[in-house]
Amino acid sequence: MNVGYRDLRGFIDLVEGIGDLRRVSGASLDREIGAITEVAAGDPHCPALLFSDIPGQPAGNRVFTNATVSARRAALALGLDHDLPALEALKAWKQRRTALKPMAPETTTDVPVMQNTMSAKDVDLSRFPSPIWHQHDGGAYIGSGSIVLTRDPDSGWVNSSIYRVQVHDRNVVTVQFDHNGRHGAMISKKYWDRGEACPIAIVNGQDPSLFIAGFEYLPEGASELDFAGAIRGAPVEVFAGPLTGLPIPARAEIVLEGRLLPMSERSLPEGPFGEFTGYYAADRRPGPVMEIDAAYYRTDPILFGSPPLKPPRFHFGLSFRAASIWSNLEAAGVGDIVGAWQHVSQLMTVVSLRQRYAGHAKRAGLIAAANSYMGRIVVLVDEDVDPSNLADVMWAVTTRAEPSEDVDIVRNAWSSSLDPRIPAEQRAAGLTSNSKMIIDACVPYHLRDSYPRTTALGIAESNEIRRRWSGIFGPRT
């Protein structure tokens, strides 16, 4: 399967082709681009945005946001039918995901990102768009959806993950790894423990397959570049970074090469930066410094912007984590799972199942709760409820769940330091657990034959109506 794009520009053309692109001229980097992005992400049609004519920027510089926020564009990025209903698209991805075979990158001499270069003395990040995304952010961020490349000095494994990058000076940025367990942090520390700076490359304006790969939780030693190739159905085209030797995507828009200095040598105050929960998780804190030795960029470069936004807005319009939970349930032997989804930026998990025995739903709920990162709410619904449709889910909660009978609480469960509900003193001590509420909103198993009949169409019937009358529904193309 080929996704139909080679780079970000090709994907933007596809987005425009399905009628999802809006062009915005004259918006400011100082909070305005971020604000327009947030409002558009909450709009029912949730358009992708291409910003141009940015005040203070060279003519031709652009910023692309909300790339994969909608289910349509998320499916498009994965090479799926963008007209599939969200749950069907997720099921198609889940099936394809299990069959994906890693595809190693391919070295090329066709390197558009080297059309323009700046050496150390000439590097000036003000020539690239770096928005202040949220109203209380501590500075401008060139990296909100950028890929950071590092190479393990022992194994040679290259990690390509998404970490935020704040601009501090013309050739100085900080890279925030969030916590020491992130692969980029562990690799950097290996260099620092040897008294060396870590060679690093920051890739801005990469294509969506690389963004998806960087967003996935791949195990240590697995290559995001290989995974992106599997998504694309074609190898990622790379070249060896002139200074670091790292395999850099050749068709990226802006690349920064340099050294990430040991924290003992230099650090700078980083943040705060708005998180995906819709809150600031921490104030300024020391961040490792990258000194940029070279910059490469395409003519009229495009920054890929993916700032965390207030839920339910999220980076990706298909629920990747829900697909993993769906697979976990099946691997644990919990059959008849019809679908799974996560709402409120993955903080609420919903599992739809066809009940076969008493306790079936509770069994699924306990497994889903154990695998729901940060989320506090797990809801179980019957097969006639679309888990991707929050209105349908709440209909089931309010008509099938009896609070005194169908709610369970699991304490001391998996959360994160990003959780705004955890007191600061507990976060500082590393106590980052929360409780999880499991709501069984299925018709009680023993009442299934006598429960009042619903007037509503089932999922399959609704999808069939949408297929037969497709001209009535959805955005105009």
What's the confidence (pLDDT) of residue 405? 96
Which CATH superfamily groups domain 81-305? Electron Transport, Fmn-binding Protein; Chain A (2.30.110.10)
What's the confidence (pLDDT) of residue 474? 61
Residue with tokens 């001590």: 429
What's the confidence (pLDDT) of residue 455? 86
Pairing relation of β-strands 198-204 and 147-151? antiparallel
Q: Enumerate the CATH 3.40.1670.10 domain ranges in the chain, comma separated.
A: 320-468
For the record, the structure tokens of 32 come out as 């305005």
SS3 for the chain is CCCCCCCHHHHHHHHHHCCCEEEEECCCCECHHHHHHHHHHCCCCCCEEEEECCCCCCCCCEEEECCCCCHHHHHHHCCCCCCCCHHHHHHHHHHHHHHCCCCCCEECCCCHHHCEEEEHHHCCHHHCCCCECCCCCCCCEEECCCEEEEECCCCCCEEEEECEEEEEECCEEEEECCCCCCHHHHHHHHHHHCCCCEEEEEEECCCHHHHHHHHCCCCCCCCHHHHHHHHHCCCCEEEECCCCCCEEECCCCEEEEEEECCCCCCEEEECCCECCCCCECCCCEEEEEEEEEEEEECCCCEEEECCCCCCCCCCCCCCHHHHHHHHHHHHCCCCCEEEEEEECCCCEEEEEECCCCCCHHHHHHHHHHHCCCCCCEEEEEECCCCCCCHHHHHHHHHHHCCHHHHEEEEEEEECCCCCCCCCHHHHHCCCCEEEEEEEECCCCHHHCCCCCCCCCCCHHHHHHHHHHCCCCCCCCC
Q: Enumerate the CATH 2.30.110.10 domain ranges in the chain, comma separated.
A: 81-305
What's the confidence (pLDDT) of residue 476? 52
CB atoms inside a 10 Å sphere around CB 476: 6
Beta-ladder partners of 433: 414
Report the C-alpha gap between 3 and 323 in whole angstroms: 20
What's the confidence (pLDDT) of residue 428? 80
Q: What is the per-residue burial (b if ≥16 Cβ within 10 Å, else e) of 447-472?
A: eeeeeeeeeeeebeebbeeeeeeeee
What's the confidence (pLDDT) of residue 268? 97
Question: Under CATH, which architecture does the 320-468 domain have?
Answer: 3-Layer(aba) Sandwich (3.40)
Peptide bond into 423 cis (omega under 30): no
Local mean pLDDT, 10-residue blocks, the chain (477 residues): 91 97 97 94 92 97 96 95 93 91 96 96 96 95 96 96 96 89 93 97 97 87 95 96 98 98 96 89 90 98 94 86 93 95 94 97 96 94 95 96 97 88 85 94 95 87 83 63
Report the C-alpha gap between 271 and 136 in whole angstroms: 9
What's the confidence (pLDDT) of residue 465? 85
Beta-ladder partners of 167: 173
Report the C-alpha gap between 29 and 46 in whole angstroms: 21
